[in-house]
């Protein structure tokens, strides 16, 4: 039972991130398929999914297409009750659904003024009163969720749920634009963005170059606070310490250098996503650790 998930560019498509996290964070089997949001091929790419017209879109194993993130979430939760995608407690579950629905329909000022970008953090951004009102509402909802669940820190409802999935791109906006929230909520944002899955999503996005880069501002920028490059760089030739790719097990053809050691991968994408954030990939860390601590 494998799902087909159709997504847009990872650095910018906040809704695609939500769709991907629904599957990745709850261990559901899927294949990702890219839709060209910025390459001009979106209309053609979406034709097999008609009448769906936006990303993400989900194709079920029987061929049924589901559009809209909230419908995808409910469909997956219904098909996989064992995954615990919604909180178990009825009051918490109802509240989590409320938060996700309001995220889907609301916060238009925040979403319009601060489009998600995962490259860097803008310094000196001044949000409008409307965006500040959205942020205040988000903090009110998060506080209410914690009152219902009793969770003072960590996921909003104690255990990771679809509510955290839906607000991870909000955390990226708060972080990427330096938006004002409480210390506790800033910590929650950084916790969401520090998860290996989110770091991997960003690292995969960084394998694509854009000219011009979407959503630029005439402001100075600072490095993204999580998953900074650790002196890794791509190199043309080996030999590498390893003979097979840590991700696929196939023979290596592409190489990176890290701490004066050469490591190999089966293709450019595997290599480049690792260069972008070596610490995001447990299989790569296990391979390097086995060599360096043997």
Q: What is the pLDDT of residues 64-110, one digit of tens each?
A: 999 999 999 999 999 999 999 999 999 999 999 999 999 999 999 99
For 26, 55, 74, the CA distances from 50, given in Å and listed in that order, are: 27, 12, 20
Write down the pLDDT at residue 38: 86
Q: Is 181 a residue whose pLDDT tops 80? A: yes
pLDDT above 80 for 154 = yes
Beta bridge partners of 58: 5, 66
Strands in 65-67's sheet, in edge-to-edge order, are 30-34, 3-7, 57-59, 65-67
Angle between helices 183-194 and 196-205 (to 10 degrees): 70
- 8 Å CB contact between 224 and 202: yes
- Is the pLDDT at 229 greater than 70? The verdict is no
What confidence category does residue 33 fall into, taking pLDDT thresholds of 50, 70 and 90?
very high
At residue 38, the 3 state secondary structure works out as coil
Domain with CATH 3.40.30.10 in the chain: 3-83
Q: Looking at the domain 3-83, which fold is it? A: Glutaredoxin (3.40.30)
Q: Rounded to the nearest 5°, which phi and psi values hold at 221? A: -125, 160
Cα end-to-end distance, the chain, whole Å:
39
Pairing of strands 30-34, 3-7: parallel
- Taking the whole predicted model, whether its pTM rises above 0.85 is answered as yes
- Number of Cβ within a 10 Å radius of residue 148: 20
| Nearest-angstrom CA–CA distance, 284 and 29 | 21
Residue ranges of the chain assigned to CATH 1.20.1050: 90-199
Answer yes or no: CATH 3.30.2000 is held by domain 90-199. Answer: no
């Amino acid at each position: 039972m494998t799902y087909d998930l159709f997504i847009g560019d990872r650095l910018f498509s906040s809704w695609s991130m939500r769709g991907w996290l629904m599957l990745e964070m709850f261990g559901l089997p899927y294949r990702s398929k890219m839709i060209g949001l910025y390459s001009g091929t979106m209309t053609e790419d979406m034709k097999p999914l008609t009448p769906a017209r936006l990303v993400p879109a989900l194709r079920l194993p029987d061929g049924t297409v589901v559009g809209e993130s909230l419908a995808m979430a409910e469909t997956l939760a219904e098909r996989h009750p064992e995954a615990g995608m919604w909180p178990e407690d009825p009051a918490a579950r109802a509240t989590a659904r409320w938060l996700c629905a309001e995220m889907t329909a609301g916060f238009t000022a925040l979403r319009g003024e601060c489009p998600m970008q995962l490259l860097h953090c803008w310094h000196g951004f001044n949000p409008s009163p409307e965006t500040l009102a959205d942020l205040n509402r988000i903090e009110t909802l998060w506080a209410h969720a914690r009152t219902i669940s009793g969770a003072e820190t960590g996921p909003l409802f104690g255990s990771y749920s679809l509510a955290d999935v839906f607000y991870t791109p909000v955390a990226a906006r708060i972080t990427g634009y330096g938006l004002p929230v409480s210390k506790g909520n800033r910590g929650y944002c950084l916790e969401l963005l520090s998860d290996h899955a989110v770091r991997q999503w960003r690292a995969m996005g960084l394998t694509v170059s854009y000219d011009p880069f979407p959503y630029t501002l005439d402001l100075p920028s600072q490095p993204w606070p999580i998953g900074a490059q650790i002196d890794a760089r791509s190199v043309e030739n080996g030999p590498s310490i390893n003979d097979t790719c840590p991700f696929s097990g196939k023979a290596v053809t592409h190489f990176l250098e890290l701490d004066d050691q050469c490591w190999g991968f089966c293709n450019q994408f595997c290599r480049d996503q690792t260069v972008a954030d070596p610490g995001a990939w447990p299989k790569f860390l296990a391979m390097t650790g086995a060599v360096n601590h043997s």
